[in-house]
Amino acid sequence: MRKIYQLSFILLLWIGVSCGGDDDPTPSTVNNPPDTEKPKIQLLTPEENSTFLVINLIRFNTRLSDNVALGTLKASLVSSDGSRSEIMEPFIFTDAMNITDFTGSFYPREIAPGTYTLLLEVLDRQKNMAKDSVAITIHAPAINQAEFENAFKKNTFYYYLDWGWFGFDFINGVEFVKSQFTYGLLMMMSMDNYINKDQWEKFVKDFQFEKQTWASWDKDGNGMLDDIEFHQGIEQLGLFEKWDQNKDKLVNEKEFVRGIFKSWDRNRDDVLSREEYFEPFYTYLSLH
């Protein structure tokens, strides 16, 4: 269920298209000269020479038009040696559309730090092509708590879910009362309220919950933790009380992010190295 939910969600996020023109079928070319006019493309964002953290959700926005009908949009990162990394599946305009704004996004998870050309290519239905591009840099420095807070706010799944559907009210940002707190953690691993032993073992290791045993959490011995068992396990850690720094019976966003930061800061130097944040971020906080 989680994979299906996330796939649908990412597709909705990646493809934000506002349309112009009409939905009539492509005009007949009988007795008309062949279309040799190139489409037009304008990459609106990001700006030239923008720099992104390796855990940033990188968004791009482009304006497309054609004299007849748009065909396909491709997006890739091109390295200095000319090699390409596709950052989304080619998007095919199935309707007869001649003008649109297109919004996409991607994580540079598989991209090595460095400077790249973000290249967008649009083809019309006669395969005429136009391109636009900007240079961007991806880096992976050590980050302090403030930088991690900024990354959390802009790039994690917490800011892209409809939390009202789950009964949460995040008017003041991501925050949890005690009864909701464990759900905020459980959703890092599962949207269907169950986690297996492998997920649990990785979780307690990554968050440094020492001296825990699977048997003490899996009360019914069925090899899975449901939301109640997970809640009881978190309760026995006293984690809500530890993360609620100001003791107001609410873990606000700053406290929640600080709790994650401190858990991942294995050498206690008040910064997260790439090795400390990269893999856990993509395991627990990214959109996929």
Assess whether pLDDT exceeds 70 at residue 25.
no
What average pLDDT does range 270-284 have in this prediction?
A: 98
**Contacts with 269 (C-beta within 8 Å, 6 or more apart), sequence order:** none
pLDDT for the residue 166: 77
Architecture of domain 2-139: Sandwich (2.60)
Cα(74)–Cα(87) distance, integer angstroms: 9
**Tokens, residue 287:** 């959109």
Assess whether pLDDT exceeds 90 at residue 109.
yes
What average pLDDT does range 134-156 have in this prediction?
A: 97
What average pLDDT does range 10-30 have in this prediction?
A: 50
Percent of the chain scoring above 70 in pLDDT: 89
pLDDT for the residue 164: 79
**Contacts with 9 (C-beta within 8 Å, 6 or more apart), sequence order:** 160, 161, 287
Assess whether pLDDT exceeds 90 at residue 170.
no
CB contact at 8 A, 266 and 208: yes
Cα(111)–Cα(116) distance, integer angstroms: 10
Where do the domains of the chain lie?
2-139, 145-285
Q: What is the pLDDT of residues 199-257, one digit of tens each?
A: 999 999 999 998 999 999 999 999 999 999 999 999 999 999 999 999 999 999 999 99
What average pLDDT does range 89-101 have in this prediction?
A: 94
Mean pLDDT of the chain: 90
Residue with tokens 């959700």: 57
**Tokens, residue 58:** 């990188």
